[in-house]
Amino acid sequence: MCFPLASPGGSGMGTPMTDAAKLTIHHQGTERRPLIAIDGFWPDPEALREDAASLRMTSIGPHYPGVRAAVPARLAETMRRRIAPLLAEHFALDPAPAVSESYYSLVTTAPADLAPIQRLPHFDGVEPRRIAVLLFLGHGEQGGTAFYRQRATGYETVDAARLDRYRAALDTDVRKYGLPDAGYIADDTPLYERIAVQPAVFNRAIVYAGNTLHCAYLPPEVALHADPLAGRLTLNLFLFDD
C-alpha cells in the first residue's frame, strides 16, 4: 500500500517530512508484521549529513559494526512526534513510546573483522513497545536492511515468550553448523532464511518493531568509508518505554 504523506506546516526542525513524502506499508514474511517506509522523509537531509560530519563518532557497544554519535535530543523528539500517528495506526501504540537512544551511525568495520555476534541477524529487544526508526543518509550504493526468519523455530520476531526457545535453537544450530564465516550476512544461511530487503534509498526512513530479526544488508559493492559524507551513514532512533 502506497500513498502520499502530507506534512503539517512549519519549517526547519519542526517539519521532518516534506509535502512530497510518500508512505508505503509492507507486511513481511509469514507473521505479516508491519514495516513503514517513508520516502522523502526529511526536508533537508544534507543538513543532517553535515551535522553528523561535524561530530566525533566512536564505537558504542559490541553489536554495531562501526561508529556512532548522539543525535540532538530535540531533533530525535521532533521525529518521534511526527511519526507518532503512524505508530498509533499501524502498530497500535498510542501514545507513542519515548526515545530511548538516538544516533548517527556509520558502518566502518571490514567484513573480515566482524565479531561473531555481528555476523548474525539480531533484534533490539523483546518488549512490545519497542520501535526502530532508520533513516538512510548515504548517497550511492548503500545496500539496505534485511529481515530474517529463524529456520529452526520459524520465528521472524522474538518476544519474551519466545526468547528461551529462540536462544536454545540458536545454540543448537551453532553447534551443528558452526558460526558463520567472517562477513556481512546477505542471503539465506543454514540458520536463517531471508524474507525481505528494504533498500537504502537516500532520505528514506523505515519504521519497524524492535523485536524483528534483522541485519544490515551490505553487499560487496557498498563502500565502507570512515567519512560520514562518503560512507554508509544512517540516523537511528530507538523508541521504548514500559
- Is the pLDDT at 12 greater than 80, yes or no? no
Task: Indicate whether 211 belongs to any domain.
Answer: yes
| Residue bearing cell 509535502 | 19
- Is the pLDDT at 213 greater than 80, yes or no? yes
Task: Indicate whether 78 belongs to any domain.
Answer: yes
Total tally of structural domains belonging to the chain: 1
Task: Indicate whether 119 belongs to any domain.
Answer: yes
* Beta bridge partner(s), residue 193: 149
CATH at 120: 2.60.120
Calculate the alpha carbon distances from 27 to 52, 90, 147, 160, 196 in Å. Answer: 32, 11, 12, 22, 10
Cα separation, 9 vs 15, in Å, equals 7
Which phi and psi (to 5°) does residue 52 adopt? -60, -40
User: 171-198: buried (b, 16+ CB within 10 Å) or exposed (e) per residue?
Assistant: eebeeeeeebeeebbbeebebbebbbeb
Task: Indicate whether 50 belongs to any domain.
Answer: yes
- Is the pLDDT at 4 greater than 80, yes or no? no
Range of the domain at 121: 22-231
Residues 6+ apart with CB under 8 A from 94: 84, 87, 88
The whole-number pLDDT of residue 150 equals 98
Its pTM stands at 0.91
The whole-number pLDDT of residue 6 equals 41
Task: Indicate whether 106 belongs to any domain.
Answer: yes
Give per-residue pLDDT as tens, 116-165: 999 999 999 999 999 999 999 999 999 999 999 999 999 999 999 999 99
Task: Indicate whether 187 belongs to any domain.
Answer: yes
